[in-house]
Structure 1
Amino acid sequence: MCNNCDYTIHGRHHHFGWDNSFVPAEKVAPGATLEFECLDSSGGQLKASSTVDDVPLLDFATINPVTGPIFVEGAMPGDALKITINEFKPSGFGWTANIPGFGLLADDFKEPALNIWKYDPATLKPALFGKNGRVPLKPFAGTIGNAPADLGLHSVVPPRRMGGNLDIRDLAAGTVLYLPVEVAGALFSVGDTHAAQGDGEVCGTAIESPMNVVVTLDLVKDARLKMPRFTTPGPVTSHLDRKGYEVTTGIGTDLMDGARAAVSQMVDLLAGRYNMDAVDAYMLCSVCGDLRISEIVDMPNWVVSFYFPRCVFE
């Protein structure tokens, strides 16, 4: 556990969805440092011994658990919660799945698939994928947010103005995140930890991995922040850049169609070049490839690009 932390929030203090009536797991003063025990996004339903037969059995009522909530003293609506992400303590286990009906190319990949990952939590050396793939790791929290002002229970699946299931891979160690506060105490929670993910998380899952997260919570009074914002401590793609990228594009009048086209072409490229099953190429794109809007002003057609790091296979 964290020697310099003020509190440890154990994994048993998890909840599903957002609800501002949840009883806080702890009340803390601004400036407190906390270590959270975070479950994986399946809530432990998928394990190192799991097989593809377990994927259709997932109970979606108990996915994406987050640890918390934390009541921050003095936090009021209109303030911003300042979250300094100090450290991740990975477990060494992870999984990636194609879940039928979920993901950017759900219409093309209708059968379940599962990849179980094992990686070194101390060195974070690239994790093996199949015989030749090596995926660089960058731990981060996929779901991190405050409770909404709206009453009742709200799904954790879509991201929200107060944070939540953002799936921004740059919310890694050293990043400072600012979230709008909508209720007294903010009621902060975190979970859905990943060992690696590409921008877009195109198949719907990353390297889903339980791990501990150490953060410091502070306040910016009367910030009037409308949406999350964050500051990174330095370069964000240095773990992927060294060999360059293969890039495919999608061009047309609709950004979603363009994104699908760009990813679909990359799946075809990887499957053909490396003699992979298409669904494996799709999952690999999700954990380390990046979707980018390259152009959105030259109407009526926009350009979406998909970048796949060549270091995975070279």
Structure 2
Amino acid sequence: MCISCDHTIHRHQFNYGWSRDFAPELVAKSGQTILFQCLDSSGGLVAEDSTVETITTFDFGKINPLTGPVYVEGAQPGDALSITFLKYHPSGKGWSANIPGFGLLADQFKDPALYFWNYDAARMVPCAYGPGGKVPLKAFAGTVGVAPAEVGIHSVVPPRHVGGNIDIRDLTAGATLYLPVEVEGALLSIGDTHAAQGDGEVAGSAIETQMDVEIRIDIIKDAKLKSPWCRTPGPVTRHLDGDGYEITTGIGSDLMVGAREAVMRMVDLLSARHGLSPIDAYMLCSVCGDLRVSAVVNRPNWVVSFYFPRIVFR
């Protein structure tokens, strides 16, 4: 609940996908604050009594339900919409999964897996991972976007030049995201809220969790942005830097192959060093490990690195 917010858009006010033709659920003005009540990425399909079989029933046309859209008065094509994330209200419960056919190593991890998390929603202290380790938490919204100019209903799965499923884990409280406006009113929607995620979200899921999100919206006239950009209020990695990192690499002429190899090596390392099963190590990498491009200038080979924070096993 947000007493000071100008508006609340409720959990049942959502759509699957993006469309310039969706009727707005709310009309707001530049400078106002809005509380978005967001569902988790499964839309409530994954519940505490769910089994691993639930994961096999996912309909990718109905994942990441988007609370919205919000029509912003005065927003016109060519403007930018500024979204400042003021506060997150996590639920304290979440899940991670391996979804068959989805994720960076889908060809190696073909069986479904499901793990439930319980965390302190007030203090957001590191959360225990049953197979081993504690994951530092960092609440953010994985999917934030406005409607594209193209007609039709567009999938929420791929990110777009108007935002969407961008999964930038540093869009935490205090951060600001700028999105190019392509349709009148912008039609802003938010969903896919996470309690923690590694850069890359390599297994295809983070700590997926229902959450409320307080934002402020502002219009920047005639900004002519080509793609999203964002600003953070301070350091973005200090929460994981305390005990250093284990770093594995993938080296070759293809960045995607390099990314896969770097993650595979880390799965091997975590399994050998900490006794995790490969699937548990893979899902853990997705919620707290980071893919980084280390070098792209030394032709013909590029270097992709995977950073795993040692503090998880401190």
TM-score tier (shorter): over 0.9
User: C-alpha displacement at 1:169, in angstroms?
Assistant: 0.3
Q: Distance in 1 between matches of 2:258 and 2:166?
A: 21
Residue identity (%): 62
- 2:118 partner letter: K
Aligned to 2:252: 252
User: C-alpha displacement at 1:48, in angstroms?
Assistant: 1.8
Q: Distance in 2 between matches of 1:124 and 1:157?
A: 28
Alignment of 1:36-185 (within 5 A): 36-130=36-130, 132-185=132-185
Q: Distance in 2 between matches of 1:197 and 1:183?
A: 31
1:4-27: CA deviation from partner (whole Å, max 9, x where unpaired): 100010001010000111010111
Question: How many residue pairs end up in the alignment?
Answer: 314
Q: Distance in 1 between matches of 2:3 and 2:27?
A: 19
User: C-alpha displacement at 1:131, in angstroms?
Assistant: 5.2
User: C-alpha displacement at 1:288, in angstroms?
Assistant: 0.1
Q: Distance in 1 between matches of 2:48 and 2:239?
A: 26
SS of residue matched to 1:270: helix
1:58-112: CA deviation from partner (whole Å, max 9, x where unpaired): 2222111010000000000000000011010000011100001000000110000
Q: Distance in 1 between matches of 2:131 and 2:169?
A: 25
Q: Which residues of structure 2 form unaligned runs of 5+?
A: none
Indicate conservation of the 8 Å contact 2:17/2:65, yes or no: yes
- 1:163 partner letter: G
Q: Distance in 2 between matches of 1:119 and 1:133?
A: 14
User: C-alpha displacement at 1:45, in angstroms?
Assistant: 0.4
Q: Distance in 1 between matches of 2:177 and 2:61?
A: 28
- 2:129 partner letter: F
1:12-45: CA deviation from partner (whole Å, max 9, x where unpaired): 1010000111010111110010001000000000
SS of residue matched to 2:61: helix
Q: Distance in 2 between matches of 1:231 and 1:131?
A: 35
Q: Distance in 2 between matches of 1:49 and 1:239?
A: 32
User: C-alpha displacement at 1:132, in angstroms?
Assistant: 3.4
1:187 matched to 2:192? The reply is: no
Aligned to 1:196: 196
Q: Distance in 1 between matches of 2:303 and 2:60?
A: 34
1:251-295: CA deviation from partner (whole Å, max 9, x where unpaired): 000000000000000000001111111000000000000000000
SS of residue matched to 1:261: helix
Alignment of 1:201-240 (within 5 A): 201-240=201-240
User: C-alpha displacement at 1:55, in angstroms?
Assistant: 1.0
Q: Distance in 1 between matches of 2:132 and 2:150?
A: 48
Indicate conservation of the 8 Å contact 2:86/2:214, yes or no: yes
Indicate conservation of the 8 Å contact 2:132/2:276, yes or no: no
Indicate conservation of the 8 Å contact 2:119/2:125, yes or no: yes
- 2:219 partner letter: L
Aligned to 1:272: 272
User: C-alpha displacement at 1:53, in angstroms?
Assistant: 1.9
SS of residue matched to 1:222: coil
Normalization by structure 1: what TM-score?
A: 0.99
Moved over 2 A (4+): none
Q: Distance in 1 between matches of 2:48 and 2:281?
A: 21
Q: Distance in 2 between matches of 1:128 and 1:47?
A: 19
User: C-alpha displacement at 1:193, in angstroms?
Assistant: 0.1
Aligned to 1:27: 27
Q: Which residues of structure 1 form unaligned runs of 5+?
A: none
- 1:17 partner letter: G
User: C-alpha displacement at 1:304, in angstroms?
Assistant: 0.2
SS of residue matched to 2:153: coil
Normalization by structure 2: what TM-score?
A: 0.99
